[in-house]
Amino acid sequence: MLNIVLFGPPGAGKGTQAAKIIEKYGLVHLSTGDILRAELAAQSKLGLEARKYMDKGELVPDSVVIGMIESKLDQNPEAKGFIFDGFPRTTAQAKALDELLSRKKTTINLMLALEVEKDELVRRLQGRGKISGRTDDQDINIIENRIHVYNRETAPVIDYYNNQGKFRAVQGMGSIEEIFGRLCDAIDRMKN
C-alpha cells in the first residue's frame, strides 16, 4: 500500500493537489475537511457539533475526527492506498492514525508538507471565499485564527513524522502544475 499524508497550513493547496495525486496514483482520498463539510450540509448531529469549531477557525475535537477516519478506512478494504488530506492536524491524531494503520498491517510511507508564505495563504483563502460560499474563508479574523491554530497545534506534527524519517518539505509557491510536479518527484523517489 501507498499511504501519504498531505500536510500544510490552511490554503496551502492540500485539497487541490490531493485531487491530482489520487488520479495519478489511484489512491483513496480522505479529507477530514470535506467529510466535516458533508456532515454540516446534511445537518447531522456531528455536523452541527463541528460547525461550532469550524466557524471560529478552531480544530474539531480529536475524538470526532479520529472516529471519522476509522470508519472511512473500514469502508475501503480494497484500497491500494490512501491520501490523508488535512489529517492528522495534531500529534494525538498522528499517533491514533499510526495505531489504526498498524491494526490493518500497514503504515504511512511519506508526509509531504507544502510550504507557502502567509500572505499567499490569505490571498488564496480570500479568493476561494468569494466563490465557494465557505464562511471560514470569508472573514479575515477567522482566516488569521486558522493560521494561528495551525502554527500552535498542527505544525508540531512535522516533528512526529521527521522523527520517523518520513517528512519531506515541498515548495508550495508557484503554479498548480509546478507544485504537482514537485510532489510527484517526491513520491516517485520514495517508491524507487
Active site residues: 14, 89, 128, 134, 146
Residue pair 58/144 in contact by the 8 Å Cβ criterion: no
- Contact between 94 and ligand B4P by CB under 6 A: the answer reads no
Residue 121 CB, nearest approach to ligand B4P (Å): 8
The burial of 69, by beta-carbon neighbours within 10 Å (0-12 exposed, 13-18 middle, 19 or more buried), is given as buried
Residue placing its CB nearer to ligand B4P in the complex, 75 or 192: 75
In angstroms, how far is CA 15 from the centroid of its own chain?
7
Residue 192 CB, nearest approach to ligand B4P (Å): 26
| Cα-based distances in Å from 85 to 5, 29, 43, 79, 130 | 6, 7, 23, 16, 23
Region near ligand B4P per CB under 6 A, out of 73-81, 97-105, 156-164, 171-179: 171-179
Mark residues 54-93: x for contact with ligand B4P by CB under 6 A, - for none.
Answer: x--x-xx----x--------------------xx-x---x
| Cα-based distances in Å from 109 to 19, 112, 134 | 19, 10, 32
Region near ligand B4P per CB under 6 A, out of 20-28, 104-112, 120-128, 161-169: 120-128
Instruction: With CA atoms as reference, report the closest residue to 88 among 105, 70, 103.
Output: 70
